[in-house]
Amino acid sequence: MRPLRLRGFGAWLGASAASLLAFAAVPVAAGAAPAAPELTFEHMALVPGGPAKLQSVHYWNNSKPFTLHDVKATIDTSKLAGVATAKLEFGGNQPECVAAGPVFTCTFDVLQAPDGFAGITTLSYRAADGAAVGAEGVVALQITSRELGTVTKTTMVTVAEGVALAVDSDTTILERTGKPGATVTVPLGVHNAGDKAITGVDLFFYIDPWYGMAKRYSNCEYGTSAAYCHFDTQLKAGASYALSEEMGVRLRPDIAAPEVVGQTYNWLTPADNRDNVDLVRAQDPKRGTDGELSLVAKPSAKLAGPQTDTTGGVDWQTTIINVEGVQTADLAAVGAEVSGSVGSTVQATVGVKNLGPAFVFGYPDPAAKVTVTAPEGTTVISAPADCEKSGADYICTTPETVRPFDVDKSVTWPFKLRIDAAGELTGTVSVKSSQPDSVASNDTAKLVVNPPGGAGDGSGGAGGGGSLPITGAPVMLVSAAGVLLLLGGAAAYAVSRRRRSRFVA
């Protein structure tokens, strides 16, 4: 399920597997290397005699276009003997892929992903005849491409008992209200809708930058962008269970208002939660210290063999939080003043700064678009990679990331200009925010070459940016070479399993 934009509040609902990394404390250097596409190759849990399950092998990159060349994928299923059988789901309809016994090979001269998704192939798996619950095998994947080199990944295929897991509520969408900085809580519960006991259950959820968890429990592992809790509890057939206390999140004090954000909680068997566990453990998770979260009134039970949910029913609950009040961001244009002689090349570093008091959501749309108009009498010799030419102007966008564009942070871009005329030459830098902007008067700043009185960097050559007017008083900002804005994989937010539902603003 792809992200859906709720236009009235600027929030979106979607599925993803994105991970998060923090902004640097210095101005972000635009044009930093983007995150590489993330490879999806999911674990499988199969029921003896049950239907086949599909496994999509693909790359995705936060809905950003990318192209790979000389791609070769080899999928080795030889270690599934006695556990499961595998085949290419589309067979002859996918000429790029061929089977040689238990090994499948797909080759592409060019693999394009105009929407950030690049499908390699789809496999289908069935439990082998006579395979017992608990039988397990490994499938190995190796993909090479010119851009990404060699990437390897393995997946576990397990034979599991089929069970029926559902939400213990007729309401799968819970609505709450709160002001910036408030804590809101929701009751969560799980139901065993089948005729077999379920021996252990997990609760998976994402942690987004617009809020923090009110408590962190000892039976839960918390990564930077995702977490899960394990309950070593036997769920009796037909019985319902509730958390020992409501799950709470604390809204950031600098969140924009009014706004809508949310969070989705997924109930899964441990066998069905393995991909999510991999995601969390790749983020160096920590266990909480606020005591144990439990399922009400049920003692721990001895675990049996692996189990998998076969119903396809609703096993998730989503909280929608209406953020009340009025709080917006003020994005200000960052201009520049540089000096040089006719014929020389100077560097002008321009951009945008968030003056607050609210952060700006930077996903799925860029937090800001900045239009740079070079002074008449200059020629743009080079522009950053994430600034596209548009007529006589350049349009620069802040990086698309699930991390907010925080208060007091800046994003800047260095432009190299050749000076073709004498005297003072003036261009502009204009900012357009993706959200309501509280102050319009600082949305435009000047880009000045050879200002009166000899202001600017005075280098007469490859200048370093000069003074950058933001709110009327010049502020010196130095572009930090090599500082990267690191983007997570998934974000969130891109191609994902049904179970990895997620709601974020």
Written in H, E and C, the secondary structure of 114-139 is: CCCEEEEEEEEEEECCCCCCCCEEEE
Confidence of residue 305 (pLDDT cuts 50, 70, 90): low
Question: 229-260 burial, b if ≥16 CB within 10 A, otherwise e?
Answer: bbbbbbbeeeebbbbeeebebebbebbbbbbb
Residue 97 has pLDDT above 50, yes or no: yes
Q: What was the pLDDT predicted at 307?
A: 72
Q: Among the listed ranges 82-86, 186-190, 469-473, which one has the minimum average pLDDT value? A: 469-473
Q: Which of 90-99, 132-141, 222-231, 435-444 is predicted least confidently?
A: 90-99
Residue 346 lies in a domain: yes
Residue 64 contacts by C-beta under 8 Å, 6 or more apart in sequence?
A: 34, 116, 400
Residues 187 and 291 in one domain: yes
User: Mean per-residue pLDDT for 30-46?
Assistant: 77
Residues 287 and 405 in one domain: no
| Separation CA 230–CA 288 (nearest Å) | 12
Mean pLDDT of 53-60: 96
Domain finish residue from 160, 182, 204: 160
Q: Which of 55, 306, 312 is nearest to 160 (CA)?
A: 306
Average pLDDT over residues 228-244: 94
Q: CB 26: neighbour CB atoms within 10 A?
A: 13
Domain containing residue 288: CATH number: 2.60.40.680
Query: Can you tell me the distance from the alpha carbon of 93 to that of 404, in angstroms, rounded to the nearest whole number?
Result: 43
Residue 481 forms part of a structural domain? no
336-338 and 444-449 strand pairing:
parallel
What b-and-e string marks burial along 337-372, b requiring 16 or more CB atoms within 10 Å of the CB? bbbbeeeebbbbbbbbbbbbebbbbbbbbbbbbbbb
SS3 276: helix
Judge whether residue 142 has pLDDT over 50: yes
Confidence of residue 475 (pLDDT cuts 50, 70, 90): very low
Note whether residue 291 is domain-resident: yes
Higher-scoring residue by pLDDT: 393, 302: 393
Q: What is the pLDDT of residue 63?
A: 63
| pLDDT higher than 80, residue 347 | yes
Please state, in angstroms and rounded to a whole number, the distance separating the CA atoms of residues 218 and 288.
4
- Beta bridge pairs of residue 100: 103
- 252, 322: one domain: yes
- Verify that 213 and 355 share a domain, yes or no: no
Residues 178 and 307 reside in one and the same domain = yes
Structure confidence at residue 304 (pLDDT): 54
**380 lies in the same domain as 337:** yes
Same domain, 136 and 188: no
Residues 122 and 180 in one domain: no
Q: Tell me, what's the pLDDT at 26?
A: 28
Which pLDDT score, from 0 to 100, does residue 365 have?
Answer: 83
Token readout for 486 is: 């690191």
Distance CA 379, CA 346 (A): 10
> Taking the model in full, what pTM does it have?
0.78
456 — pLDDT class (breaks 50, 70, 90):
low
Full domain range(s) for residue 442: 331-475
End-of-domain residue from the set 139, 160, 181? 160
Average pLDDT over residues 246-252: 96
Of residues 486 and 115, the one with the higher pLDDT is 115
For residue 16, is it within any domain? no
Report the percent of the chain where pLDDT is more than 70.
79
- Convert the pLDDT of each residue in 260-292 to its tens digit: 999 999 999 999 999 999 999 999 999 999 999
- Whether residue 397 is contained in a domain is answered as yes
Which residue type, as a one-letter code, is found at position 259? E
Structure tokens at 442: 């600082």
| pLDDT above 60 for 19 | no
- Alpha helices (H) along 190-337: 274-281
CA distance 391 to 379: 14
Query: In sequence order, what E strands does 355-489 have?
Result: 368-373, 378-382, 387-390, 393-397, 410-419, 425-433, 444-449, 468-469, 474-475
154 and 220 inside one domain? no
Question: What would the mean pLDDT of 451-476 be, rounded to a whole number?
Answer: 43
Give 314's pLDDT tier (boundaries 50, 70, 90): low
pLDDT at 313: 61
Cβ neighbours of 154 (radius 10 Å): 13
> How many CB atoms are located within 10 Å of the residue 291 CB?
13
Q: Is residue 253 part of a domain?
A: yes
Predicted confidence band at 386 (pLDDT cuts at 50, 70, 90)?
A: confident
- Domain contains 363: yes
- pLDDT at residue 29 above 70? no
Q: Distance between CA atoms of 321 and 210, rounded to whole angstroms?
A: 11
pLDDT at 406: 95
Give counts: helices (H), strands (E), the chain: 1, 41
Mean pLDDT of 341-369: 94
The separation between the first and the last C-alpha atoms of the chain, rounded to the nearest angstrom, is 16
Interstrand relation of 173-178 and 316-327 (parallel, antiparallel or unpaired): parallel
Q: How far is CA 466 from the centre of its chain?
A: 35
More confident residue, 366 or 373: 373
Residue 59's pLDDT is: 96
* pLDDT confidence band for 312 (50 / 70 / 90): low
Contact 234, 295 (CB under 8 A): no
Once rounded to an integer, what is the mean pLDDT over residues 8-19? 30
Q: Which of 273-277, 300-304, 452-456 has the highest mean pLDDT?
A: 273-277
Q: pLDDT band for position 107 (50/70/90)?
A: very high
What CATH code is carried by the domain that includes residue 439?
2.60.40.10
Same domain, yes or no: 284 and 380: no
Q: Output the six-digit token pair for 453.
A: 């009185």
10 Å CB burial of residue 175 (0-12, 13-18, 19+) is middle
* pLDDT for res 169: 74
Closest CA to 345 of 383, 314, 380: 380
Give how many domains the chain has, as a whole number.
Answer: 3
Residue 102 and residue 219 in one domain: no
Q: What is the chain's Cα-based Rg?
A: 27
CA angle 26/30/35 to nearest 5° reads 100
Residues 183 and 323 in one domain: yes
Residues 6+ positions from 404 with CB-CB distance below 8 Å: 209, 210, 359, 360, 361, 362, 367
Which of 137, 136, 141 is closest to 121 using CA atoms? Answer: 141
Q: Would 168 be classed as within a structural domain?
A: yes
